[in-house]
């Protein structure tokens, strides 16, 4: 694996070895490993979790692949990942095209809870990987919830999402795994629905439903710029950190003083103004410019055309639109820009759901 350089300022330059490991290694139990009274549930447990739009990290200087955190803002949408879990006498059977990340969290869960039996697992994501919709974090929190219920629910949702965040990994081309970037926004939005605002160390500061009945459209501009692996690392750990040194206080102020009050009164246009401002600040600027200034041109044209809420998700290039306008109206706005609506949905204000079939 490569050695990456991290530069946060003129006097801040360190090396980070982007190392991989096998599923089940480097487990962080958070001190939760203890004797639990487990009771396996007969039948199949199915958890459906909404995907998320990640609007911004609060401070890139407060997280890294081996340190989850950094704070952030994001919301859940009606685009779903699902995980089915059934307890078995032994072994782990996985039906999913990204088996290493599933296997790793299964070993995390077994080490924490002391469960010695097996699992049969079927996972299905929303099939939009690495475009800013959080497929990995959504699958992982659905998996955690299903495993937990299947053995008698020894852990709380809060403990589950922190275990996911502190053991967050992405798979490598060689079939191993490597620590990934995690703010905790995805699992929190998936559990609770609506908008989630995170502080450092995966601390959930605030969550609130919003924009009920409004339409959500996801536009995925063409981009040949990778938003995964070493390219993502280089983006987030260099330019983004430097820009957050300058703008993190302003972003925190905008969220506390403007975004949260707008959420309380369900003022979609006011929320859109705040997100539009944040798109030009700190690490969000680095993420947008990663895909070229065309993303700014697209979003500016959409706002000028009267779309109330426009923001790029995560490291992009997906652009999320929340509006009262119907699909035909939005299509008339984005198609002259050479774009098309990739996903039409709404906000998920309910969070993940669980069903049990004997």
329-342 confidence digits (pLDDT tens): 999 999 999 999 99
Nearest-angstrom CA–CA distance, 156 and 97: 28
Contact 121, 301 (CB under 8 A): no
Find where tokens 């996911």 sit: 164
Estimate the crossing angle of helix 282-290 against helix 294-304, to 10 degrees: 110
- What pLDDT was estimated at residue 173? 82
Q: What separation, in Å, do the N-terminal and C-terminal C-alpha atoms of the chain show?
A: 45
* Helix, strand or coil, per DSSP, at residue 109: helix
Instruction: Tell me the two tokens of residue 309.
Output: 């809420």
- Locus of tokens 């803002």: 73
Local structure of residue 61 (DSSP, 8 states): G
For the chain, what's the residue count? Answer: 358
User: For residue 18, which of 196, 165, 181 has the smallest C-alpha distance?
Assistant: 181
Structure tokens at 238: 């260099």
Q: How far apart are CA 168 and CA 241, in angstroms?
A: 21
- pLDDT reported for residue 133: 79
pLDDT at 130: 58
Mean residue pLDDT across the chain: 90
If phi over 0 gives left and psi between -120 and 50 gives alpha, with beta otherwise, what is residue 326?
A: beta
Which residues in the chain show pLDDT less than 70?
1-18, 129-132, 224-238
- DSSP labels for 156-200? -HHHHHHHHHHT-EEE-TTS-EEE----SHHHHHHHH-SEEEE-G
Structure tokens at 84: 């089915």
The confidence score (pLDDT) of residue 100 equals: 96
What pLDDT does residue 278 have? 96
Closest CA to 138 of 204, 214, 48: 48
Which domains occur in the chain, in start order? Answer: 3-209+349-357 (3.30.230.10), 215-345 (3.30.70.890)
Q: What is the per-residue pLDDT for 99?
A: 96
Rounded-to-integer distance, Cα 132 and Cα 127, Å: 12
Per-residue confidence (pLDDT) for residue 14, from 0 to 100? 52
- Environment class of residue 10 by beta-carbon count within 10 Å: exposed (0-12), middle (13-18) or buried (19+)? exposed
């Amino acid at each position: 694996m490569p050695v990456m350089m991290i530069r946060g300022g003129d006097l801040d330059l360190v090396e980070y070895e982007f190392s991989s490991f096998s599923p089940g290694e480097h487990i962080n139990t958070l001190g939760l490993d203890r004797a639990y009274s487990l009771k396996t549930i007969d039948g199949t447990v199915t958890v459906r979790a909404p995907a998320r739009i990640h609007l911004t990290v609060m401070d890139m200087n407060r997280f890294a692949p081996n340190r989850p955190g950094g704070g952030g803002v994001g919301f859940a949408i009606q685009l779903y990942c699902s995980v089915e879990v059934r307890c078995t006498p032994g072994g782990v059977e996985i039906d999913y095209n990204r088996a290493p990340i599933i296997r790793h969290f299964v070993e995390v869960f077994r080490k924490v809870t002391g469960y010695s039996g097996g699992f049969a697992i079927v996972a299905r994501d929303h099939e939009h990987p690495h475009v800013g919709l959080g497929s990995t974090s959504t699958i992982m929190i659905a998996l955690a919830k299903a495993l937990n219920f299947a053995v008698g629910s020894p852990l709380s949702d809060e403990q589950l999402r922190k275990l996911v965040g502190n053991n967050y990994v992405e798979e490598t081309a060689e079939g191993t795994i490597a620590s990934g970037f995690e703010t905790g926004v995805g699992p929190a939005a998936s559990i609770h629905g609506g908008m989630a605002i995170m502080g450092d160390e995966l601390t959930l500061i605030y969550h609130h439903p919003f924009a009920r009945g409004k339409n959500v459209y996801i536009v995925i501009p063409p981009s040949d710029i990778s938003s995964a692996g070493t390219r993502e690392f280089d983006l987030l750990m260099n330019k983004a950190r430097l820009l957050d040194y300058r703008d993190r206080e302003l972003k925190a102020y905008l969220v506390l003083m403007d975004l949260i009050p707008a959420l309380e009164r369900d003022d979609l246009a006011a929320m859109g103004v705040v997100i539009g401002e944040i798109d030009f600040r700190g690490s969000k600027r680095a993420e947008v410019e990663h895909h070229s200034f065309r993303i700014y041109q697209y979003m500016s044209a959409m706002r000028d055309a009267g779309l109330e809420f426009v923001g790029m998700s995560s490291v992009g290039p997906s652009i999320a639109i929340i509006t009262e306008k119907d699909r035909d109206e939005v299509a008339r706005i984005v198609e002259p820009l050479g774009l098309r609506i990739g996903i039409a949905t709404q906000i998920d204000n309910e969070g993940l759901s669980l069903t049990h079939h004997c």
